[in-house]
Amino acid sequence: MAVDVVVFDLGETLIDETAMWTRAAQVAGVTPFTLMGVLGATIAEGRHHDETWEILGVDQPAATWDDDDWYEDAGPCLERLRAEGYRVCAVGNTPQFVEEQVGRRIEVLGSSERWGIAKPDPAFFERVVRDVGVEPAKIAYVGDRVDNDVAPALAAGMIAVHIKRGPWGYLQEPPAEAIRISSLDELPGAFG
């Protein structure tokens, strides 16, 4: 595989959303256990995770990510990829402010809010290809969700990497043509 660019989905790939969801539970006035249980149920039922707030009967609090929320293996992986000559980027179904927060650590291509399109829309992945500026076959797209990350990346002609972490990473089974990893420590060696 001749990969030139590695594009990460932000949530649960680089950033451990546990703290974010815990902070959201506190703001919403529910226990983290309750929020995580309802979130898990919406995922298992194939519903959009934003429905969690409707089920709980509370307004959705603003998302907050902190520098301390990054997975331990994220920084070393990014450094290793850059040292090996890969261009390293990130995108996500996120508010625009997230671009500024993560931009200190990684080249940010965009957010669904700024672009006005969200995964799994094929237009989102077309935008990634356009902004990266290389053919899709030279892009490795890393994500935890099969429905939002892996399958659309494959459909766009990218190399799809499924990381088994976060709720979706454990609940969804990637297609055989996807590269499968359990840690970002495995990623630099996954391209052959």
Q: Is 12 left (phi over 0), alpha (psi -120 to 50) or beta?
A: left
Annotate 144-170 with DSSP letters as a single string: S-IIIIIHHHHHTTPEEEEE--HHHHH
Residue 71 identity (one-letter amino acid) = Y
Q: What is the DSSP secondary structure assignment for residue 56, as one 8-state letter? A: H
Per-residue pLDDT tens digits for 155-180: 999 999 999 998 888 888 999 999 99
Sheet holding 159-163, edge to edge: 107-111, 87-92, 5-9, 139-143, 159-163, 179-181
pLDDT exceeding 90 applies to what percent of the chain?
61
Q: Which domains does the chain have, with CATH numbers?
A: 5-16+69-191 (3.40.50.1000), 18-56 (no CATH)
Provide φ and ψ at 135, rounded to 5°. Answer: -65, 150
Q: What is the pTM of this model?
A: 0.89
Taking a C-beta distance cutoff of 8 angstroms, is the pair 6, 135 a contact? no
Per-residue pLDDT tens digits for 53-74: 999 999 888 777 777 888 999 9
